[in-house]
A and B are shown apart, each in its own frame.
Chain A
């Protein structure tokens, strides 16, 4: 029997917008990925 696990990824992106209008692109803050799908037999 083959078992394929659902994979979920999550991440947060951010830009800082200063009061004077300056924009600082922080980009991806971190990336979560549940362990890769595994196959069992």
Chain B
């Protein structure tokens, strides 16, 4: 089990400091097993809200600055994904775009599978703290 900022995502903060790029606030989830690693560029079998569908769009989360240690030292994205088709969610991440199968992955984590029936939701909070 791991949560990582992946290699391809490392360029996003410097790019954003220059006023370029796209904010990585779009939330993806996936259903295959695996341990997140920095070399990853995708989720493990990313799916749409219908957990049996591997194409479509990712929902945008709500981003903000929050305080963990020092004022506004943490980038936070929150979002609730509601399954429209049943499955087991095993990993999730943040992307700079909304198209499943495309865009740049920034943050990824895998976890013990969470079984969802249609209508069940996961409320995610992603946090990245700079210090």
Measured CB to CB, the residues of A under 8 A from B are: 6-19, 26, 29-32, 34
Please indicate the chain A residues that have their CB under 8 angstroms from the CB of B125 in the complex. Answer: 12-14
Report B96-120 CB contacts with A as 1/0, cut-off 8 Å.
Answer: 0000000000010111001011111
Residue contact A12 to B114, C-beta cutoff 8 Å:
no
Report the number of A-B residue pairs with Cβ-Cβ less than 8 Å. 85
Known: A7-B130, A9-B131, A30-B110. 17 other contacts (CB 8 A): A6-B130, A9-B68, A9-B127, A11-B126, A12-B111, A13-B125, A14-B92, A14-B125, A16-B122, A17-B80, A17-B120, A18-B117, A18-B119, A29-B1, A30-B1, A31-B3, A32-B3
Which residue of A11, A17, A19 is within 8 Å of B127 (Cβ)? Answer: A11
Instruction: Compute how far the CA of A15 lies from the CA of B3 in the bound complex, rounded to whole angstroms.
Output: 17
Tally B residues with Cβ within 8 Å of A.
29
Instruction: Compute how far the CA of A6 lies from the CA of B13 in the bound complex, rounded to whole angstroms.
Output: 13
Is B51 on the interface with A (CB-CB < 8 A)?
A: no
Residue contact B124 to A13, C-beta cutoff 8 Å:
yes
18 A/B residue pairs, CB under 8 Å, sorted by A: A7-B130, A8-B129, A8-B131, A9-B131, A12-B92, A12-B127, A13-B125, A15-B122, A16-B116, A17-B123, A18-B119, A18-B120, A19-B117, A19-B120, A26-B111, A30-B110, A31-B3, A32-B4
Instruction: Compute how far the CA of A15 lies from the CA of B80 in the bound complex, rounded to whole angstroms.
Output: 9
Residue contact B131 to A29, C-beta cutoff 8 Å:
no
Residue contact A30 to B2, C-beta cutoff 8 Å:
yes
